Structure 1
């Protein structure tokens, strides 16, 4: 069990989301950086979709009421256990009474605390994720507050850990040949032209050529981008249609909105592009005020990136199990 000692707004329990209910108006929700949750769960021996804590407002502190195995993934920066700096993207063991602290990370937006066994909160529509707009899921459908106490779930992984834990090279480094680096502080985000792309002048060139900034009017539902407005060549009346995370819509004001994890389930704004799925985690780690540029991509490139990420995850899973089984054989 853990107890929340210090927190801020919008820190929630999240897993990989609840797909399959958009037809009845229920957003998938889930982690803004699903790759960080998936890797953390592999490290501690959980199923990929076990619930974790998503921290996006800092500082954050929790107390281990009972001992447990955990890992902190996602944002850059070093977590601290009883004032001692820990290696991120690595498993650690906490004793009862110890306090884990996460300070403001240097550059990225969100950290994830993953516990062996996950977090024992109710499963609603196949997920433990918090829906803040719906007021359900996670920990009573709301952000975490000081004094909240949450039990660990049960784990089938009884394999031992090495004394120094099991660590991985974070995806931004391990997959640097797959995910292009920032150029002069601008994050490249790959996208594919969407259904209404041809409605915009010059084949939407102004969308692709300029640098956008994530505005302060952004949240888990969507990132509103500030820049030179783009407008369709003609006024078009559109019926509301289904949308998913990654879709880039252009409202009448001309500044795009990227649908994020808590994306609306339907909307009538023209869709100019769709961010490839494997780049969603990079958006999830982009802070308010970050600058980004959209890069034209293809379905073939998106598939190649997906395969590279899948190999990276499979390698982590295999290595983790091999290390644990070797330790068990030596015991």
Structure 2
């Protein structure tokens, strides 16, 4: 079996694709990539469709050993480098595909510039889909590798035992990582559960992402919001980006692993175009909110898709990495010749 072996797991890496949005009516959370834009770019770099499952991680990535003839990978979501142990230590840039061979190891430099990063693999992983997705949802132990975060000693089976020899690709324009500005929010569905003063404060105050942030949601620190009609409602549907406000008045932004229903009032929802940027944020980062209507949110999503397609169309050839150790191991001379045989 061709695989990638986990030598060191890092910080709770999981396999994530676009998730399972069609099964919320059965109580199954969507899960999926926190930053689907970076996932799409990484998959394009290695020649995959955009939604092929990749290794998603935060802060510290895994160290993996190649147990296949060859494998092509790309790191996205961060400007941190990819480190290859191939007889010598080679440091390679993110947003560039690279082909590795059996016995080589790869790891990622510490990630300080982003809350999430992706290691995409050509062909993806040969694992069973659950509810039409490979995404890991750890609370129910479904999807991914045995329904959990990767651990030391795991061997992730690959769909490809060997990748085609071809030129590598890179993306030079990483400006999308520098996107700034308020998180745009559509008010509702329980805006009427909050005082007008609280709604105004919500749009004019700075909030900080607390340490209580994971794939399920981000708890925010800042001005508490005042409920006008209590803080318990009949449980209703939850979407990614919904902003619940429990009894303490501090907002919680719900992310990919959010529950399908909830009983706290929701003052608003972060629009889908801002979800990838939100997914890249990390504890200690600050954010502001800005109100937008539904029509504006739809236009923002269309504009984002145009920008993503522009990025995918801008992939360019990358300078080849010469694995000198592997080169010297090859038998480059098939025989000997005598004087006069050349020419």
The aligned counterpart of 2:52 is 50
Residues in 2 aligned to 1:53 and 1:104: alpha-carbon distance in whole angstroms: 15
Tell whether 2:190 aligns with 1:190: no
Q: State the secondary structure of the residue aligned to 2:211.
A: coil
Tell whether 2:278 aligns with 1:283: yes
Whichever of the two has the greater Rg, that structure is 2
For 1:123-134, list aligned pairs within 5 A.
123-134=129-140
Spell out, residue by residue over 1:225-251, the C-alpha distance to the aligned partner (whole angstroms, 9 max, x if none): 111211112326520001111000111
Q: State the secondary structure of the residue aligned to 1:215.
A: strand
Tell whether 2:154 aligns with 1:148: yes
Residues in 1 aligned to 2:84 and 2:127: alpha-carbon distance in whole angstroms: 24
The aligned counterpart of 1:103 is 109
Tell whether 2:81 aligns with 1:78: yes
The aligned counterpart of 1:200 is 194
TM-score, normalisation: structure 2: 0.84
Tell whether 2:303 aligns with 1:308: yes
Spell out, residue by residue over 1:208-241, the C-alpha distance to the aligned partner (whole angstroms, 9 max, x if none): 1111111122211111111121111232652000
Closer, same or farther in 2 for the Cα pair 1:54/1:19, shift >3 Å? Answer: same
The aligned counterpart of 1:87 is 93
> Could you list the runs of 4 or more consecutive aligned residues of structure 1 that deviate by over 4 angstroms after TM superposition?
316-320
Aligned pair partner of 1:242 in 228, 237, 241:
237
TM-score, normalisation: structure 1: 0.87
Closer, same or farther in 2 for the Cα pair 1:214/1:143, shift >3 Å? Answer: same
Residues in 1 aligned to 2:102 and 2:42: alpha-carbon distance in whole angstroms: 21
Residues in 1 aligned to 2:312 and 2:230: alpha-carbon distance in whole angstroms: 51
Listed as ranges, the gaps of 5+ residues in structure 1 are 183-187, 325-331
Q: Please say if residues 11 and 62 of structure 2, whose CA atoms lie closer than 8 Å, have aligned partners that are also in contact.
A: no
Q: State the secondary structure of the residue aligned to 1:273.
A: strand
Residues in 2 aligned to 1:299 and 1:169: alpha-carbon distance in whole angstroms: 33
Residues in 2 aligned to 1:230 and 1:289: alpha-carbon distance in whole angstroms: 20
Residues in 2 aligned to 1:146 and 1:35: alpha-carbon distance in whole angstroms: 28
